Structure 1
Amino acid sequence: MKTRSLSVLLSAFVLLVPFTPRASEGDTVLQPEHPEPVKLALATGAGHAYALLGVHLEARSSHWAVFAGTGLPLLRGPSGVLGIKAFSRPGAGLVGSLHLSYFGSYGSGLVSLASLSATVGWRFRWRETFLELGIGQSFSYAQHADHQDGPHAGVVDHELGFGALGPIPSPNFLPDVALALGYEF
C-alpha cells in the first residue's frame, strides 16, 4: 500500500512539474525592495530643532532622518542641536522629531541650557523644496553661576524646567514650535 501511494505522488509530481508557471523574458519578476539612497537636506528655521533660529543638515533614508545644526549667536554663546525624525511617507507627511539642543553662556548668570524636545507636525513637499510645521514640548536643564563677590561667589545652581523657555520663568507651558524651509539634494 505504501509503495502504491508513493508511486501516485511521484507520478503526479512528474506530470505537474512541466506545467508550473515560469518567468519568461517579457515577464515582470518581483525583486526584493532596495532601500532608497541617503538624501541630504539643508533647512533653516525657528524652534529648538534649529537651536532657536538657525540651520541644520539632515540625512534621510526613506522614512527616517538624523540631523545636526547650529543656531545664530543670538544669545552670546555657542548653540547646537542633534536629533532624529520619523516620517509617514519618505521625507514628507506626518513628521515626529526628537532632538537635544544646547545653548551656552548667554549672560545674566545662566551658564548653559540643555533642552530635550519632541515635536509632531507636517512636512509639505514641492519636489525638492519643503516646508515643515510642528508643535511639541521641551524639558530643560539649566546651570546658573553667581558672579557676585562674597562667600558664595561662583556657586553653580542647577534647575530643571518644562516648556519652550526652559526654567525661565519656571514653570512655563509654552510649546516648542518648528517652522522651517528646506531643500533636499
Structure 2
Amino acid sequence: MKKQISAAVMIFSIIAAPSMAQGVDKQAFEAKVFDVQADKPLQLAELSKKEMKETEGAALWFAPALAVTLGGGAIGAWGNHAHSYARTGQPASVSSTLNATGNGMMVGASLYGAGRVGSVAKNLKFDGPSAGLKYGNGRVFGVRHNSQPVFRVDYHKNPSPTKLHIHSAPNIKAHRPWNAPWKKY
C-alpha cells in the first residue's frame, strides 16, 4: 500500500507540475533552482564534441523502465474500470483505481526487470511444498540463488499475526505476513 501511495503521488506530481508552475514567479523559481542572482553573471561553459558524445542519451537511461512501468499502471487502471463497468455499470472508485494503477505499475516494473535478469535466472532453483505442508505446517514455495534462499512462502505458526507468511532476502529469517510484507517479525 505504501508503494502504491508513493506511485500515485509521483503520477499526480507529474500531471500537476506544469499547471502549478504557471503561478510561480519565474525569477524566484530560477533563483531557487539554478542559484541565479541578479548581481552575479551566470557562468556557462560549452561542452566539447567529446563531452557531447559521451553524454548523448544519458538523461534517458531509465526511459524503457519508466515506459513499461507507466504502461502497466495504465493497463491496471483501465482494466479496473472495465471490470467495474461489467460488474456494476459504474466506473470504479478512486481508491480501487489507485490500487489497480499501483499494482499495474509494480507488475510492469517487475516484467521489465525480469527481462534483464538472464544470467541471474540460470542460477535460480525453485523449491516446492515441503512434506509437512499436507499436515498444515511447512514450506509452500521457495526460491534459491546459488543455493542461498532468497524468497520463501511458509505456512505455520510464527511471530507474525498470520500463519501464511513470507521470508525474503537480505533478512531471510524475518517473518513477514503475506498481507503486509513490509512488516518484519
TM-score by length of 1: 0.20
Q: Name whichever structure is richer in strand by fraction.
A: 1
The structure with more radius of gyration:
1
Higher helix share: 2
